[in-house]
């Protein structure tokens, strides 16, 4: 059975980004995957302090919720990273989490991930044009590839301001389900 995990980087815990990640995980479940969804804003994840302990050994020196999340990621077959676009970028909650992925890369630049671990970065944004931030999305795809993930093309949902705005876009909901199905194969 494939293990697909998702992260919601929105501080609004029941809004569009969570719903988007949840829908992707539902698509994976329909193909028989085991799934888990984490709300980053609910968790205790401090910013990287640059001690570089993870360059000298395998572990991060900060003992917070990230310790368990790193183990989850290492055992996953696919990981969904979800964030709203804030100021043309991911949220600060998502960025703190991303910085703390540093232990995934060993000192010799090899990755501790299982070969072929898939990653998908998904976004919600107020802007209707889902190509508006494509260069930033591409940048994040490169970053995940550097960590050793097999990266899928990013997916964005626009025009999401109020609760339920994602669910109103039936074509996007369908696409999200399909993305989830693909992560489970
Ligand atoms: C502080 C802040 C900054 C934002 N910056 C942008 C932005 O640069 N571009 C954009 O298209 N939408 C921006 N938005 C809109 C959010 O991306 C959008 O409403 C998103 O769906 C929120 O995610 P959520 O519903 O999961 O909380 C911003 C919203 C906030 C609160």
Q: 29-67 pLDDT, tens per residue?
A: 999 999 999 999 999 999 999 999 999 999 999 999 999
pLDDT single digits (tens) 53-102: 999 999 999 999 999 999 999 999 999 999 999 999 999 999 999 999 99
- Alpha carbon of 87 to ligand 1 centroid (Å): 7
In this prediction the pTM is: 0.98
Residue closest by Cα to atom 19 of ligand 1: 161
pLDDT band at 13; cut points 50, 70, 90: confident
Per-residue pLDDT at 166: 98
The response to whether residue 163 sits with its C-beta less than 6 Å from ligand 1 reads no
**Domain 3-183, what architecture?**
3-Layer(aba) Sandwich (3.40)
Paired tokens of 127: 């802007």
């Amino acid at each position: 059975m494939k293990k697909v995990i998702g992260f919601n980087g929105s501080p609004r815990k029941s809004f569009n980004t969570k719903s988007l990640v949840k829908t992707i995980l539902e698509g994976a479940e329909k193909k028989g995957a085991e799934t888990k969804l984490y709300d980053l804003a609910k968790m205790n994840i401090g910013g990287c302090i640059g001690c570089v302990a993870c360059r000298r050994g395998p572990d991060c020196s900060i003992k917070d919720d990230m310790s368990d999340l790193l183990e989850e990621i290492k055992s996953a077959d696919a990981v969904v990273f979800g964030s709203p676009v804030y100021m043309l970028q991911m949220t600060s909650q998502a960025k703190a989490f991303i910085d703390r992925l540093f232990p995934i890369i060993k000192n010799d630049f090899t990755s501790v991930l299982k070969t072929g671990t898939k990653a998908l970065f998904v976004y919600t944004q107020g802007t209707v044009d889902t190509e508006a931030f494509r260069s930033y999305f591409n940048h994040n795809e490169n970053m995940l590839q550097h960590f050793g993930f097999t990266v899928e093309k990013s997916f964005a949902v626009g025009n999401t301001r109020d609760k339920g705005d994602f669910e109103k876009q039936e074509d996007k909901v369908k696409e999200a389900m399909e993305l989830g199905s693909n992560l489970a194969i």
